[in-house]
Amino acid sequence: METKQIDAHTNRHINAQPRLHQRAPEIQPYGTVNHALPLELEEPVRLEMTEQLNQLLADTITLRDLYKKSHWQVAGPTFYQLHLLFDKHYSEQSELVDSIAERIQALGGVSLAMAADVAETTRIERPPRGREEVPVQLSRLIDAHQVIVRQVRILARRASQLGDHGTNDLVVSEVLRTNELQIWFLSEHLVNLPLVKAEEPVVGTGAA
């Protein structure tokens, strides 16, 4: 007579109730890096790079959100063009946000994520809640870009000095070039040119 094998799993009580309201200590504090990653980069280097990258992340998130605010609130004769342009730049900045955050995590650090933490960290001026004129929107965006470009150039040089070529490549080939291109697109909208009729040059009278 065959002996029946009883699967231990069949006697287990199944409970589909989700375990809600769970809390536990952090698995890694902010401002630290994992010790044992085989990246051939010393811990002090990774600590410095993740700190600077988190500053860049906070400013990039702020610029991204400033683009979305401008996209929603833009008004005037150039509404349609700028509405689309602001959203395009927003999407490109969103990609940079993800790339910077992933670089921080790849170096063993902890990336900023929450709006309150970003607001406490960013060096970009906070705009009012209400709507502003197009020239002011454009100027705010360019000023924010300038904060990032200045920081990126310093970070790129420092990363190269420390041998962190991955960070150098990211901030130069992606962050810097994207911001430079977006500055160009914005700046051209602030050139004061006639829309319909070109201004004729003033001819001198020749009077002494």
3-state percent breakdown (helix, strand, coil) of the chain, nearest 5: 60, 0, 40
Evaluate if residue 205 carries a pLDDT over 90.
no
**Sign, Cα dihedral of 137, 145, 81, 95:** negative
Q: How far apart are CA 119 and CA 101, in angstroms?
A: 16
Q: pLDDT of 55-82, one tens digit each? A: 999 999 999 999 999 999 999 999 999 9
Q: How confident is the model at residue 145 (pLDDT cuts 50, 70, 90)?
A: very high
Q: pLDDT of 153-196, one tens digit each? A: 999 999 999 999 999 999 999 999 999 999 999 999 999 988 88
In this prediction the pTM is 0.89
pLDDT more than 90, % of the chain: 83
- DSSP for 50-110 reads HHHHHHHHHHHHHHHHHHHHHHHH--STTHHHHHHHHHHHHHHHHHHHHHHHHHHHHTT--
